[in-house]
Chain A
């Protein structure tokens, strides 16, 4: 059993082990949807919500169904199915209650299904042997970490509209560079917390 205190798991998943800047998961939508702050916040919220709910559901399925039956080898397929179903649900929900966010997110809402950060969070939860409380905070923290990353990047990119970027680096090139620089600053958090 992992004995890391809950608050360390929570803060660690946001800063020191930020799922995007430390593990570089979920890069595709991070690169494409980080053009404008409102959209980035919308997608960040959706990813946080899906990540939180799916890690908790996957925790329960994994520890109360798969492990007792000795079926942990089907965990990947079950995790993906849970994520896919949850995203479907979220899509219906957002379309009903926030059409403008639905249209702004467009194709990226269903694509949360294949956002590797979400599956990654479920798998880390298993690898690191978190208990239920830790999982709850880990899922939330990892989601918030991704949210923070995309919101930061959207803020920078909105400002960058005024800068003169060398032609060869425009669009994705400069975003990759900035992501690298931000990742290095996030490395500065390492050592502040020991996440086990």
Chain B
């Protein structure tokens, strides 16, 4: 017994000695002094203790660069332009940067450490991103694995966003700390005191499990809005929306926003599902269609019908319906949101219909 206790004691003592040595070394070696961080050619300047990552320094100053992985260098969302003071590009960043991006100084802000005065450029939109505190006001079960979560904003009370944008919801990580996941806003732009999300329960997904376990009255934190999609302002331009599963979220927002702002504008919504059990929002769109005859809604089921199922809509993969219902024109804008194979199939069809790739915006997940 004694040797065992002695062994544990000695091992612990050696470990503690090593830890103390490292702490002392860190104090003297990783102390870079205070550096200036200058954003967008001096429009914002703050001082920062050296040695921290750019991403966490920006978060400390309430500039919310998107990041889904929490600074581990695995999502590639936190890109910013660093013209000066960022040091060489790290091997950990290379998988996320194209050659053009590397030439123009794009970096992953979670990998850049502040060691000297540094200049960065961030899109103005990102400076408008805020952190929101909100309360769950209503939860609806849309299908067996998709829930609609309605959040009432507490602080700040209003949000201004463009349809198609997303927020980053904070969820506790069972392994400690927090993770952030992106969810599109499904409530229309004019409803600026609330944010609605449509979340599918991903097996073993940390954030989606957290969201599905929320109850009415719970408080959540998120940052936003993020996303570069902008609706074309020309009311004569047709809007084509294609989605599957919880890809419905941004599409619903776009439909409601567009019909509110341009009541006569042509909007075509295509939604792909497997079976009748995966269908949601169809009744709501049918009602909306009665007030807005220019809205066209097509749901397509890809799986063969079961013995108990009744369906009078389209069948087959959703890109076949897109092919069937769209005529040849380049005067339209498209937003696609769904799994990668669906996006590639629809992209090809839209190209054949004469659309310019610049007018197609997509979000793969």
A interface with B by C-beta (< 8 Å): 61, 65-66, 69-71, 73-74, 77-78, 81-82, 85, 88-89, 92-93, 95-96, 99-100, 103, 106-107
Asked whether, in the complex, the Cβ of A93 is within 8 Å of the Cβ of B29, the reply is yes
Give the Cβ gap from B34 to chain A, nearest Cβ, in Å. Answer: 17
Q: In the docked arrangement, what's the CA distance between A77 and B18, Å?
A: 13
A-B pairs, 6 with minimum CB distance: A85-B18, A92-B29, A106-B91, A74-B7, A96-B29, A89-B25
Residues in B neighbouring A103, C-beta threshold 8 A: 87-88, 90-91
User: Known contacts being A89-B25, A92-B26, A106-B91, is A61 close to B6, with CB within 8 Å?
Assistant: no
Write the chain B residue with the least CB distance to A82. B18
Which residues of B in the span 73-116 have a Cβ within 8 Å of any Cβ on A?
87-88, 90-92
B141 within 8 A of A: no
User: B87: which of A70, A78, A93, A99 is its contact (CB, 8 Å)?
Assistant: A99
B214 within 8 A of A: no
B21 within 8 A of A: yes
Place the interface of chain B in its size category. 20 to 34
Give the Cβ gap from A70 to chain B, nearest Cβ, in Å. Answer: 6
Give the Cβ gap from B212 to chain A, nearest Cβ, in Å. Answer: 37
Q: Is the interface of B mostly helix, strand, loop or mixed?
A: helix
Residues in B neighbouring A99, C-beta threshold 8 A: 87-88
Residues in B neighbouring A82, C-beta threshold 8 A: 14, 18
Asked whether, in the complex, the Cβ of B25 is within 8 Å of the Cβ of A71, the reply is no
User: Known contacts being A61-B14, A82-B18, A85-B21, is A96 close to B91, with CB within 8 Å?
Assistant: no
Asked whether, in the complex, the Cβ of A81 is within 8 Å of the Cβ of B15, the reply is yes
Residues in B neighbouring A70, C-beta threshold 8 A: 3
B30 within 8 A of A: yes
Write the chain A residue with the least CB distance to B90. A103
Give the Cβ gap from B8 to chain A, nearest Cβ, in Å. Answer: 9
B202 within 8 A of A: no
Q: In the docked arrangement, what's the CA distance between A82 and B10, Å?
A: 13
Q: Is the interface of A mostly helix, strand, loop or mixed?
A: helix
Inter-chain contact total with CB atoms closer than 8 Å:
54
Write the chain A residue with the least CB distance to B32. A96
- Known pairs A82-B14, A96-B30; list 10 more (Cβ under 8 Å): A69-B6, A71-B6, A74-B11, A77-B11, A78-B14, A92-B30, A93-B29, A96-B29, A103-B90, A103-B91
B345 within 8 A of A: no
5 of the cross-chain contacts (CB-CB < 8 Å) are A69-B10, A85-B21, A88-B22, A89-B25, A96-B29
Q: In the docked arrangement, what's the CA distance between A96 and B30, Å?
A: 7
Residues in A neighbouring B91, C-beta threshold 8 A: 103, 106-107
B interface with A by C-beta (< 8 Å): 3, 6-7, 10-11, 14-15, 18-19, 21-22, 25-26, 29-30, 87-88, 90-92
Asked whether, in the complex, the Cβ of A71 is within 8 Å of the Cβ of B3, the reply is yes
Asked whether, in the complex, the Cβ of B14 is within 8 Å of the Cβ of A89, the reply is no
Residues in A neighbouring B19, C-beta threshold 8 A: 85
Asked whether, in the complex, the Cβ of A81 is within 8 Å of the Cβ of B6, the reply is no
Write the chain B residue with the least CB distance to A92. B29
User: Known contacts being A82-B18, A99-B87, is A65 close to B10, with CB within 8 Å?
Assistant: yes
Q: In the docked arrangement, what's the CA distance between A93 and B25, Å?
A: 9
Asked whether, in the complex, the Cβ of A73 is within 8 Å of the Cβ of B15, the reply is no
Give the Cβ gap from B97 to chain A, nearest Cβ, in Å. Answer: 15
Residues in A neighbouring B6, C-beta threshold 8 A: 69, 71
Asked whether, in the complex, the Cβ of A66 is within 8 Å of the Cβ of B25, the reply is no
Give the Cβ gap from A57 to chain B, nearest Cβ, in Å. Answer: 10
User: A71: which of B7, B18, B87, B90 is its contact (CB, 8 Å)?
Assistant: B7
Residues in B neighbouring A95, C-beta threshold 8 A: 29-30
Q: In the docked arrangement, what's the CA distance between A92 and B19, Å?
A: 14
Q: In the docked arrangement, what's the CA distance between A120 and B29, Å?
A: 29
User: B10: which of A71, A92, A106 is its contact (CB, 8 Å)?
Assistant: A71
Give the Cβ gap from B114 to chain A, nearest Cβ, in Å. Answer: 13
Give the Cβ gap from A82 to chain B, nearest Cβ, in Å. Answer: 7
Asked whether, in the complex, the Cβ of A81 is within 8 Å of the Cβ of B25, the reply is no
Asked whether, in the complex, the Cβ of B30 is within 8 Å of the Cβ of A81, the reply is no
Write the chain A residue with the least CB distance to B17. A85
Q: In the docked arrangement, what's the CA distance between A70 and B19, Å?
A: 24
Residues in B neighbouring A65, C-beta threshold 8 A: 10, 14
Give the Cβ gap from A175 to chain B, nearest Cβ, in Å. Answer: 21
Give the Cβ gap from B309 to chain A, nearest Cβ, in Å. Answer: 53
Residues in A neighbouring B10, C-beta threshold 8 A: 65-66, 69, 71, 74, 78
Residues in B neighbouring A81, C-beta threshold 8 A: 11, 14-15, 18
